Chains A and B, each alone.
Chain A
Amino acid sequence: MLIRVQELSKSFRKLEVLKNVSVSFEANQCVAIIGPNGSGKTTFIKSVLGMVIPDSGEIIVSDKNIKNNFHYREAIGYMPQIGRYPENTTMGQLFSMIKDIRKHNGVSLDEELIESFHLPALYNKRMRTLSGGTRQKVSAALSFLFNPEILILDEPTAGLDPLSAEILKDKIQQERKKNKLILITSHIMNDLDELSSHVMYMLEGNLMFFKTMEELKAETGEERLGKAMAKLMKQQTN
């Protein structure tokens, strides 16, 4: 089990954002984390990354409790929704900086995305001169760079042009086959449909269900994830 979350709760002031969430993820899964805005998706991801400190509950990553620990993040590659980087640093310097601070002893670097996004041509450009899409490509390339066992991708395809989005999706699928765990949040159901093996649905801080794609589709009788989700939500409101 790569990630085990047990009875995770978190509230900001009076607002309960996560209510007793328990879930486990394993290798060779690609989990789509789905839920409306404010459902707790981001807080869940940030808890796993150690950016949000839970009120109660435990998070175990690769058999290590992440509380007061940061070494477990060696196993994680994270692609943020909005990537902003030091403005006057060039892209090349950014890559060497992250390589420099992330001890990647023995791990071979995965520079495939850097190549397929044609980033080396832009190595001399300062980060502030780059478009949002390009920065998104940088974020993606960085998250895959250290061959992590776990990839956490927050709205990976938003802001990417269709061609680059396809490159990224191919990469995601390819990595999954390498026995990795991939967590994705996205609003683009089609993308998730293509990529995911599992669906984790959150609503108002609760984990509503965690199922395989097949189970979900069988239960709802729908062929497409979007339709299946719509049907589920409709059932719940009724």
Chain B
Amino acid sequence: MKLVKYIFFDLVRSRFVFFYFLLLLLFTGTFILLQDDVSKVQLSLLNIIILVVPLVSVIFATIHWYNSAEFIEVLLAQPVSRKRIFISEFVALSLAVGGAFILATGIPLLIFYPDAVSLLLMVGGFFLTIIFIALAFWSAVFTRDKAKGIGLSLVLWLYFSLIYDGLVLMLMFNFSDYPIDKIVVVLLSLNPVDVSRVMVLMKMEMSAMLGYSGAVFTDFLGSSVGLIYSIVLLIIWSIVPFFWALRKFSKKDL
């Protein structure tokens, strides 16, 4: 798509994407140089991936959407469908921000430590980028005001990174006498940050540390079926908010 190409090249030349690339490169470089051990590097990067990547993606995509409002009007005055404009913006942003992540973090990680965990970190980070861009579009389409839109995006980020897990922990605490493993698997599936985190950690220390008590988790999430399940969930998580936002955008007054 031609539109994707132009928006993508505009984004690639933006200072923001460049600084994001540099920041990630700095983190990755520092971790790889200063830490002697593979798993330490990977765990440090996991923190970046479940915290910084979603935050930057969601905020940048929201701001980008509002800043593009007038240009989108220009595009809409052309014989181009709304769907095409929306998809092009989404694809271009995903490629630019996700590409910065893959170049700055994914590739160096795979070069220095080519193993399954590194690959999953890259896959997880890229999906979280896409998912939080989709969520950003969702909140931008649902709020006309820029400040409110950014606020909503921040709340979504906070919800998925912190509040949701807090609620799950509270639930576990209150129902510790009941077999709630299956419910927890379902609850974890409903948060893309948890899906990515568990997907990576199941290949690291978590499956062993869950021990026999976590048989449901290890048998399911730790297996290759679980890996496919995680990736399918991440795909669904990228698609659902996106199409919801697209539907809203198609009928929206601009």
Contact = CB atoms under 8 A, between A and B. Distances in A.
A touches B in complex, CB < 8 A: yes
Interface of A: 10, 12, 46, 49-53, 70-74, 76-78, 80, 82-89, 93, 97-98, 100-103, 126, 139, 142, 152
A74 B79 CA distance: 5
B215 interface: no
Given A83-B70, A86-B10, A49 B78 contact: no
A151 to B, nearest CB: 11
29 contacts: A46-B253, A51-B73, A51-B77, A52-B253, A53-B251, A53-B252, A70-B79, A70-B80, A70-B81, A70-B82, A73-B79, A74-B79, A77-B77, A80-B70, A80-B77, A83-B70, A83-B74, A84-B70, A84-B71, A86-B7, A86-B71, A89-B6, A89-B10, A93-B9, A98-B74, A98-B78, A101-B78, A102-B79, A152-B77
Nearest to B14: A88
A85 B2 CA distance: 16
A3 to B, nearest CB: 15
Determine chain A's interface SS by DSSP, over half rule. mixed
A61 B82 CA distance: 18
Given A73-B79, A102-B79, A80 B73 contact: yes
In order of increasing CB-CB distance, the 5 nearest A-B pairs are A78-B77, A84-B70, A88-B13, A86-B10, A73-B79
Determine chain B's interface SS by DSSP, over half rule. helix
Nearest to A75: B79
Which interface residue of A12, A82, A88, A93 has the most chain B CB atoms within 10 A? A88
Interface of B: 2-3, 6-7, 9-11, 13-14, 67-71, 73-82, 251-254
A37 B102 CA distance: 49
A51 B76 contact: yes
Contacts of B68: 86
Contacts of B70: 80, 82-85
